[in-house]
């Protein structure tokens, strides 16, 4: 073993560190405390805390009277929390914030009637707690389990499902499970709840394992994240040791390895990592001593007298801070100093940026051999690092952030950590004729596309980032879309049949009939291009990438207003809105029309509705029928009119002599007519009481050809007349 590499993120994560600190503070204040389950998955830490007064219990029943209790980082179910409260104990909740976030997600899913799928280890305390916050759920450990479940339960394919994942799961397993469930289920909402620290730790372990001849993973045997680390390392490195403490380390397995990597799970304390590292480092020093001598005192002295040169990078410790400069011990014959202006040019205080004892790196600007001083610059080193990052960003396509500082011919300039990046107008993501000045002083995200360090030229693209983010938003919308879901959108364009609304990268269409409950002829009567509106999904087709949206508020449905205000037999003031050969349409409430059949307009025979009514008239009418299912209403003016006087015999004889038809019928109080009128026999009952749906029926009637109407009327004449 010649070289040892230690992962930067090895050891306690935020959640574990937080719970241990809370327990230590509790023990300092109270002297003793109970922990519901092992505080963390590390026997050494648990043993140390037990010696200080922490007692591990498995249920609320084991609590002693007046004994305080701490809830570990894995969290507990609501039922367990309630049981603890009922004991009257002082409860300290050390649940990891990332785990609490999962509890909120699954609880909300239950409130929305969604079934919860949990990806994780069934018997892990974190997963057991998550299940307690679900109304209905299923837990799966592998992608194969998910596939088998869906194969045998096709009833879940169209049900609303929310998916969460244990914070310490591998990203590979999570992705595989998601791919399977997205192929089958049409209404799934996915939440990536893997802890960011866990993800970073796993990525580092994978990189180390790929570069090392051997790997050592430190962690508890029953620690989920530690076990996953070992599994990840074994994929790239055949020589992996998974240990809990230093004495388990097998150095013989490391002798043949040139480079060895060392990482640790989130529950591994720093002191165990240090002991393992020291044991491995001792082996490295033993091997090195057989090859080369240790430095003599004279050689070490010579090292401290080594000269430094302009442009060289050095590191040292801050030993003093004055009003004008910061003194740095470089461990050499020179005393370094950095002007305080390098830390205060933004108006801040130097003490807020750097303190005595801080380790600092800088570039040598000027050496004074006479005085034995070296002027240093941290800004130049930072700038050099930024250039390095900029150059690496070209190959990695990493996204950088900066502020637009100026507009010039052909584009804008973005300041990225002190480096000027030119963004051509075509790469600003603005329309062709848009003013570039609108970007000034705005923070933007961009990708570096070209770097020429010699010419100090850097070119970037805001458009590439914007396009990628739009694609991500579009995919997110299609993954989460469901009927009834609401979106905030912007009206992009208007047509004669509706409005197109952008709901985050995707345009959906709001048909003109879905813009308003009232009558409108053009969408522009309700919305304009650029308006911010709230819309909801009526229907969608993922394959054709089409979405139908609604804008009118379902709660403002005028039919509901009508039914709450009127019923059959009521009298209403109605507004005549359209006249047809068979009757008149009248608005009862805004958005709801009823039909007054021609036989119900007057208590006498009339040839056409225009003989009595005019569009715009407001008249009283009786509601004679309501079809709740079809939303149709029948009205009658005749039911409110005085009955017509009966015709005398003499008059009837006179009519016969004159060759005119007699009209003899009486009108009852409910609007029905009796008697015989040869030329104007009573219309069929179903035609009289047929209610009319405002928008649909009117257009249908208008579309009927005159000839067809005449044929229908001819067929309905009485047999005597034929």
**Which CATH code is given to the segment(s) 397-467?**
2.40.50.140
Whether the Cβ atoms of residue 636 and residue 667 lie closer than 8 Å to each other: no
Q: How confident is the model at residue 3 (pLDDT cuts 50, 70, 90)?
A: confident
Lowest mean pLDDT among 187-201, 333-347, 404-418, 497-511: 333-347
Domain map (residue ranges) of the chain: 1-96+198-290, 97-194, 305-371, 397-467, 481-556, 562-715
Superfamily classification of domain 481-556 = Nucleic acid-binding proteins (2.40.50.140)
Helix (H, G, I), strand (E, B) or coil at 11: coil
Give ∠ CA 626-629-635 in degrees, rounded to 5. Answer: 20
The CATH number that domain 97-194 falls under is 3.40.1010.20
Query: Which two tokens mark 348?
Result: 């801040």
Tokens of 442: 């705005």
Decide whether 97-194 matches 562-715 in CATH topology: no
Helix (H, G, I), strand (E, B) or coil at 326: strand
What CATH number labels 562-715? 2.40.50.140
Q: Please report which confidence band the pLDDT of residue 432 belongs to, taking 50, 70 and 90 as the band edges.
A: confident
Its pTM surpasses 0.95 = no
d(CA 711, CA 472): 61
Question: DSSP string covering 426-462, please?
Answer: GGS-S-TTS-GGGGTT-EEEEEEEEEETTTTEEEEEH
pLDDT tens for residues 62-101? 988 888 999 988 899 999 999 998 888 888 888 887 788 8
Written as six digits, the tokens of 426 are 């075509």
Number of Cβ within a 10 Å radius of residue 283? 17
Look at residues 326, 401, 400, 381 and name the one whose alpha carbon lies nearest to residue 356.
326
Task: Tell me the mean pLDDT in the region 230-243.
Answer: 91
**Dihedrals φ, ψ of 143, to 5°?**
-65, -35
The structural architecture, per CATH, of the domain 305-371 is Beta Barrel (2.40)
Beta bridge partners, 501, equal 491, 508
Mean pLDDT, range 603-617, rounded to an integer: 91
Judge contact between 129 and 59, C-beta under 8 A: no
Query: What's 63's DSSP letter?
Result: P
Q: Does domain 1-96+198-290 have CATH number 3.30.70.1110?
A: no
Q: What is the pLDDT of residues 645-689, one digit of tens each?
A: 554 444 444 444 444 444 433 444 444 444 443 333 344 434 433
Q: Looking at the annotation, which residues are catalytic? A: 126
Rounded Cα distance, 160 and 111, in Å:
12
């Amino acid at each position: 073993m010649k070289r040892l590499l230690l992962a930067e993120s090895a050891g306690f994560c935020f959640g574990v560190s937080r719970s241990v600190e809370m327990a230590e503070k509790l023990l300092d204040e109270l002297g003793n405390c109970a922990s519901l389950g092992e505080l963390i998955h590390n026997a050494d830490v648990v043993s140390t805390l037990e010696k200080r007064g922490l007692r591990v219990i498995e249920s609320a029943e084991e609590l002693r009277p007046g004994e305080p209790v701490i809830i570990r980082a894995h969290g507990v179910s609501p039922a367990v929390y309630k049981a603890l409260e009922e004991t009257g104990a002082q409860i300290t909740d050390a649940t990891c914030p990332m785990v609490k976030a999962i509890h909120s997600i699954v609880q909300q899913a239950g409130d929305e009637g969604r079934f919860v799928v949990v990806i994780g280890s069934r018997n892990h305390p974190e997963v057991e707690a998550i299940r307690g916050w679900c109304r209905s759920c299923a837990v799966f450990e592998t992608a194969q389990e998910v596939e088998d479940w869906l194969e045998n339960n096709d009833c879940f394919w169209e049900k609303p499902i929310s998916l969460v994942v244990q914070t310490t799961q591998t990203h590979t397993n999570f992705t595989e499970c998601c791919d399977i469930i997205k192929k089958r289920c049409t209404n799934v909402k996915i939440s990536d709840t893997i802890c960011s620290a866990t993800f970073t730790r796993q990525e580092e372990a994978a990189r180390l394992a790929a570069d090392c001849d051997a790997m050592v993973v430190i962690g508890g045997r029953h620690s989920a994240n530690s076990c996953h680390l070992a599994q990840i390392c074994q994929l790239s490195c055949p020589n992996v040791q998974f240990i809990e403490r230093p004495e388990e380390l097998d150095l013989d397995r490391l002798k043949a390895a040139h480079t060895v990597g060392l990482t640790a799970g989130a529950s591994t304390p720093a002191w165990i990592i240090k002991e393992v590292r020291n044991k491995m480092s001792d082996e490295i020093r033993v091997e090195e001593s057989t090859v080369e001598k240790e430095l003599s005192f004279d050689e070490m002295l010579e090292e401290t007298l080594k000269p430094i040169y302009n442009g060289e990078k050095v590191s040292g410790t801050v030993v003093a801070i004055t009003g004008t400069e910061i003194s740095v011990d470089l461990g050499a014959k020179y005393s370094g100093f950095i002007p305080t202006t390098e830390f205060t040019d933004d108006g801040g205080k130097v003490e807020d940026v750097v303190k005595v004892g801080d380790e600092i790196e800088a570039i040598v600007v000027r050496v004074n051999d006479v005085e034995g001083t070296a002027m240093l610059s941290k800004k130049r080193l930072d700038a050099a690092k930024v250039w390095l990052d900029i150059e690496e960003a070209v190959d990695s396509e990493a996204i950088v952030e900066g502020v637009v500082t100026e507009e010039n011919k052909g584009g804008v300039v973005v300041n990225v950590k002190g480096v000027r990046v030119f963004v051509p107008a075509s790469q600003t993501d603005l329309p062709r004729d848009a003013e570039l000045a609108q970007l000034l002083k705005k923070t933007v995200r961009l990708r570096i596309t070209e770097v020429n360090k010699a010419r100090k030229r850097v070119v970037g693209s805001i458009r590439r980032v914007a396009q990628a983010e739009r694609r991500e938003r579009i995919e997110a919308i299609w993954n989460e879309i469901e009927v009834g879901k609401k979106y905030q959108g912007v009206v992009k364009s208007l047509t004669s049949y509706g409005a197109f609304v952008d709901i985050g990268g995707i345009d959906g269409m709001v048909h003109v009939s879905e813009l308003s409950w009232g009558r409108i002829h053009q969408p522009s009567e309700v919305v304009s291009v650029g308006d911010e509106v709230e819309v909801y999904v009526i229907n969608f087709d993922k394959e054709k990438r089409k979405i139908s949206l609604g804008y009118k508020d379902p709660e403002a449905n005028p039919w509901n207003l009508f039914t709450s205000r009127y019923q059959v037999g009521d009298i209403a003031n109605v507004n005549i809105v359209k006249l047809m050969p068979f009757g008149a349409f009248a608005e009862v409430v805004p958005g709801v029309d009823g039909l007054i059949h021609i036989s119900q307009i007057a208590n006498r025979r009339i040839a056409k509705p225009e003989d009595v009514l005019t569009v715009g008239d407001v008249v009283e009418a009786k509601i004679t029928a309501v079809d709740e299912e079809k939303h149709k209403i029948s009205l009658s003016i005749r039911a409110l009119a005085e009955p017509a006087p009966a015709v005398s015999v003499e008059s009837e004889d006179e009519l016969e002599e004159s060759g005119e038809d007699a009209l003899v019928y009486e009108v009852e109080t409910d609007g029905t007519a009796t008697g015989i009128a040869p030329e104007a026999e009573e219309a069929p009952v179903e035609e009289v009481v047929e209610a009319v749906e405002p928008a649909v029926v009117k257009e249908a009637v208008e579309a009927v050809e005159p000839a067809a109407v005449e044929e229908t009327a001819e067929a309905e004449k009485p047999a005597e007349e034929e």
